[in-house]
Amino acid sequence: MESLGSVLQFLEGKIILITGATGFLAKILVEKVLRVQPKVRKLYLLLRAPDAKAAAHRFQNEIIYNKLQHTADAISLKLVLSRC
Domain boundaries, the chain: 2-68
pLDDT tens digits for range 2-14: 566 788 888 889 8
Residue 68 has pLDDT above 60, yes or no: yes
pLDDT tens digits for range 14-59: 898 888 888 889 888 888 888 887 788 888 888 888 888 888 888 8
SS3 annotation, the chain: CHHHHHHHHHHCCCEEEEECCCCHHHHHHHHHHHHHCCCCCEEEEECCCCCHHHHHHHHHHHHHHHHHCCCCCCCCCCCCCCCC
